[in-house]
């Protein structure tokens, strides 16, 4: 395993995941036996964000070299990259596997929507200053972006129109940045509910739930210590990490479910498998730990029809 810190992780399917490291390496791992799959991919500096298409064909990464890179997930070969001129903290791929959205920490023309196979820009660049995260809605008709100083917005995928704007309700640089002598952690700050009607945005110590239909919002306190949060979701429940622990929450009721998952070291990133059954946790020492959430959650919280595996590597 790489000794470099794990900055981003994303599942390919229920049996493998991809991790991005501070040294710029991107590695794909088999969960069952812990073996690396294929050659190491090399980004343009520290890898801050990773997304994998649902059909397993594409990987997209964003890095501190200011590039969003599309990779062939079958061969681990680079397909193309796009220069953004600032750290690319946010990438995502639509559920139909045809579109990619990437955003940098720049202030103007920093959010771009493109065709994943062609690279053709589908919209003029959008300006949403200092974006930390982007996420397509489940049906792909919209995508959300969360910013340090401009809050969260939802854009129409077809014409770029702003459909929702949180304003300053979710704007605070300290929400997704931890001051450190070494680095600032880059976290996943937003997820959608399965029906695409709620947008959850992580902030310091909690989550804000936005109803897209009427723009109402509710605060969802998570941790009393006001830690910065990492969140991941399968649309039914949210996995929320702060410090060295991970708690699980029902998307609809906002009630805590299951038991807290604790570690001895501080988490740097998390990801859920497509079904939600498996949780991957990345750490600063390069270790990635896997958890089978069937041990702590009822079966109703897992998306059905996704293939299973029977072992979980650490």
Domain assignment present for 176: no
Domain that holds residue 285: 6-167+185-298
- CA separation (Å) from 10 to 48, 123, 172, 216, 274? 12, 26, 26, 31, 10
Q: What is the pLDDT of residue 243?
A: 87
Domain assignment present for 307: no
Let me know: does 280 contact 288? Beta carbons within 8 Å: yes
Domain assignment present for 249: yes
In CATH, what number is assigned to the domain containing residue 81?
2.130.10.10
Q: What are the 10-residue block averages of pLDDT along the chain, 314 residues in total?
A: 83 96 96 93 94 96 96 95 94 97 94 96 95 95 90 95 81 36 50 94 83 88 69 94 91 92 92 95 93 94 62 33
Domain assignment present for 140: yes
Domain assignment present for 208: yes
Q: What is the pLDDT of residue 223?
A: 65
Domain assignment present for 29: yes
What is the reported pTM?
A: 0.90
Domain assignment present for 232: yes
Domain assignment present for 178: no
Token couple for 58: 């594409």
Structurally, how many domains does the chain consist of? 1
Q: What is the pLDDT of residue 306?
A: 52
């Amino acid at each position: 395993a790489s000794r470099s810190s794990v900055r981003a992780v994303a599942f390919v399917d229920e049996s493998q995941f991809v991790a991005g490291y501070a040294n710029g390496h991107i590695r794909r791992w088999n969960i069952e036996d812990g073996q690396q799959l294929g050659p190491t991919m090399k980004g343009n500096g520290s890898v801050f964000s990773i997304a994998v298409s649902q059909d397993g064909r594409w990987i997209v990464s964003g890095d501190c070299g200011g590039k969003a890179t599309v990779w062939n997930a079958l061969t681990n070969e680079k397909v193309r990259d796009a220069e953004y001129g600032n750290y690319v903290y946010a990438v995502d791929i639509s559920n139909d596997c045809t579109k990619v959205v990437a955003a940098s920490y720049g202030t103007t023309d920093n959010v771009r929507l493109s065709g994943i196979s062609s690279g053709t820009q589908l919209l003029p660049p959008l300006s949403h200053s200092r974006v930390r995260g982007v996420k397509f809605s489940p049906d792909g008709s919209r995508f959300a972006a969360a910013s340090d100083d401009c809050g969260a917005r939802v854009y129409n995928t077809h014409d770029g129109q702003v459909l929702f704007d949180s304003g300053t309700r979710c704007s605070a640089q300290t929400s997704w940045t931890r001051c450190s002598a070494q680095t600032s952690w880059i976290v996943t700050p937003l997820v959608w509910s399965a029906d695409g009607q709620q947008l959850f945005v992580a902030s310091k110590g909690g989550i804000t739930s936005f109803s897209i239909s009427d723009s109402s919002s509710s605060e969802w306190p998570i941790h009393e210590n006001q830690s910065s949060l990492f969140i991941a979701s399968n649309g039914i429940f949210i996995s929320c990490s702060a410090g060295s622990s991970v708690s699980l929450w029902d998307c609809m009721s906002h009630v805590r479910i299951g038991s807290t998952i604790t570690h001895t070291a501080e988490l740097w990133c998390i990801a859920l498998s497509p079904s939600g059954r498996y949780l991957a946790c990345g750490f600063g020492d390069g270790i990635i730990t896997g958890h089978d959430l069937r041990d702590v959650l009822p079966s109703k919280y897992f998306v059905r029809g996704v293939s299973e595996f029977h072992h979980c590597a650490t």
